[in-house]
Amino acid sequence: MKILVYHGKYGDEYWLANTPEQKITALKRQFTFLDSMGCYEGEENLAQAREGNKAAIIGILNSRACCEYESWDIVEAIEA
């Protein structure tokens, strides 16, 4: 099972990313959360990302993943 882990300022958040649909839903949620905090002002393709454009969302998240409190990973969860 795959999980998207967002390493946030106030602790990690986890979203299922097992299917392509779950993965893009998780990425959209992470983008929306960080955008609501003003993290992406001035970013190229911001308008398209806000409209739900998958490529724009992924591009912005990837370009900012090295920034403090904006990093994320997709990890494999091991069933016990």
Could you tell me the pTM of the whole model?
Answer: 0.87
Long-range CB pairs of 14-23 (<8 Å, 24+ gap) are 17/74, 23/74
pLDDT in tens, the chain (80 residues): 999 999 988 899 999 999 999 999 999 999 999 999 999 999 999 999 999 999 999 999 999 988 888 899 999 998 87
Nearest to 28 by CA among 61, 71, 74: 61
Question: Which pLDDT does position 79 carry in this prediction?
Answer: 81
Question: Which pLDDT does position 68 carry in this prediction?
Answer: 85
Handedness of CA 50, 55, 60, 66 (dihedral sign): positive
Contact in structure between 74 and 1 (CB atoms under 8 Å): no
Q: With 0-12 CB in 10 A as exposed, 13-18 as middle and 19+ as buried, what is 66? A: exposed
